[in-house]
Amino acid sequence: MAEDQRPKAAALRYEKGKDSAPRLVAKGQGHIAAKILQLAKDNQIPVHEDPALIEILSKMNLEEQIPGDCYRVVAEILAWIYKAQLQATAK
Protein backbone atom coordinates (compact mmCIF):
# COMPACT_ATOMS: atom_id res chain seq x y z
CA MET A 1 0.00 0.00 0.00
CA ALA A 2 1.37 3.42 -0.92
CA GLU A 3 2.23 5.69 1.99
CA ASP A 4 -0.52 8.20 1.13
CA GLN A 5 -3.11 5.37 1.19
CA ARG A 6 -2.22 4.09 4.67
CA PRO A 7 -4.87 4.74 7.30
CA LYS A 8 -4.28 7.93 9.30
CA ALA A 9 -5.49 8.95 12.76
CA ALA A 10 -5.12 11.94 15.04
CA ALA A 11 -6.19 12.81 18.55
CA LEU A 12 -7.17 16.21 19.86
CA ARG A 13 -7.34 17.49 23.42
CA TYR A 14 -9.37 20.40 24.67
CA GLU A 15 -9.63 21.32 28.32
CA LYS A 16 -12.11 24.10 28.96
CA GLY A 17 -10.49 26.86 30.99
CA LYS A 18 -6.99 25.59 30.16
CA ASP A 19 -6.79 25.51 26.37
CA SER A 20 -7.78 28.41 24.15
CA ALA A 21 -8.30 25.96 21.28
CA PRO A 22 -8.08 22.18 20.78
CA ARG A 23 -4.51 20.86 20.46
CA LEU A 24 -3.13 17.95 18.46
CA VAL A 25 -1.84 15.39 20.97
CA ALA A 26 -1.27 12.36 18.72
CA LYS A 27 -1.05 11.57 15.02
CA GLY A 28 0.15 8.75 12.84
CA GLN A 29 -0.25 6.49 9.83
CA GLY A 30 -0.50 2.75 9.46
CA HIS A 31 0.55 0.95 12.64
CA ILE A 32 0.61 4.17 14.70
CA ALA A 33 -2.89 5.09 13.48
CA ALA A 34 -4.11 1.64 14.49
CA LYS A 35 -2.62 2.12 17.98
CA ILE A 36 -4.31 5.53 18.34
CA LEU A 37 -7.66 4.03 17.35
CA GLN A 38 -7.18 1.04 19.67
CA LEU A 39 -6.37 3.35 22.61
CA ALA A 40 -9.53 5.33 21.87
CA LYS A 41 -11.58 2.13 21.78
CA ASP A 42 -9.97 0.78 24.98
CA ASN A 43 -10.76 4.06 26.76
CA GLN A 44 -14.27 4.36 25.30
CA ILE A 45 -13.40 7.57 23.47
CA PRO A 46 -15.71 8.19 20.50
CA VAL A 47 -14.02 8.24 17.10
CA HIS A 48 -15.12 10.42 14.20
CA GLU A 49 -13.89 10.01 10.62
CA ASP A 50 -13.22 13.10 8.53
CA PRO A 51 -10.71 12.59 5.68
CA ALA A 52 -10.30 16.31 4.95
CA LEU A 53 -9.62 17.14 8.60
CA ILE A 54 -7.12 14.30 9.06
CA GLU A 55 -5.14 15.63 6.09
CA ILE A 56 -4.84 19.01 7.82
CA LEU A 57 -4.05 17.50 11.23
CA SER A 58 -1.42 15.13 9.83
CA LYS A 59 0.62 18.14 8.67
CA MET A 60 0.58 19.83 12.09
CA ASN A 61 3.12 19.55 14.89
CA LEU A 62 2.19 17.82 18.13
CA GLU A 63 0.79 20.16 20.81
CA GLU A 64 -0.01 22.74 18.14
CA GLN A 65 -3.44 24.38 18.34
CA ILE A 66 -5.77 23.64 15.47
CA PRO A 67 -5.88 26.40 12.84
CA GLY A 68 -8.79 28.85 12.88
CA ASP A 69 -10.26 27.50 9.66
CA CYS A 70 -10.79 24.14 11.43
CA TYR A 71 -12.69 25.56 14.43
CA ARG A 72 -16.16 24.96 12.99
CA VAL A 73 -15.62 21.35 11.98
CA VAL A 74 -13.84 20.55 15.26
CA ALA A 75 -16.65 22.25 17.24
CA GLU A 76 -19.16 20.05 15.39
CA ILE A 77 -17.11 16.95 16.24
CA LEU A 78 -16.82 17.96 19.91
CA ALA A 79 -20.60 18.49 20.02
CA TRP A 80 -21.08 15.03 18.48
CA ILE A 81 -18.74 13.49 21.08
CA TYR A 82 -20.53 15.29 23.91
CA LYS A 83 -23.92 13.94 22.69
CA ALA A 84 -22.47 10.43 22.35
CA GLN A 85 -21.13 10.57 25.92
CA LEU A 86 -24.48 11.81 27.25
CA GLN A 87 -26.30 8.99 25.47
CA ALA A 88 -23.81 6.42 26.79
CA THR A 89 -24.23 7.58 30.40
CA ALA A 90 -28.04 7.67 30.05
CA LYS A 91 -28.16 3.93 29.26
Instruction: Find the CATH number of the domain harbouring 36.
Output: 3.40.1690.10
- Cα–Cα distance between 86 and 91 in angstroms, integer? 9
Asked whether the beta carbons of 6 and 21 are under 8 A apart, the reply is no
Residues 14-70: tens digit of each pLDDT:
888 999 999 999 999 999 999 999 999 999 888 889 999 999 999 999 999 999 999
Host domain of residue 8: 3-90
Give the chain's domain count.
1
Flag whether the pTM goes above 0.85.
Answer: no
Asked whether the beta carbons of 77 and 32 are under 8 A apart, the reply is no
Residues 70-79: tens digit of each pLDDT:
999 988 988 8
Reported as a pLDDT band with limits 50, 70 and 90, residue 4 is low
| Residue-wise DSSP of 47-76 | ----HHHHHHHHTSPTTPBPPGGGHHHHHH
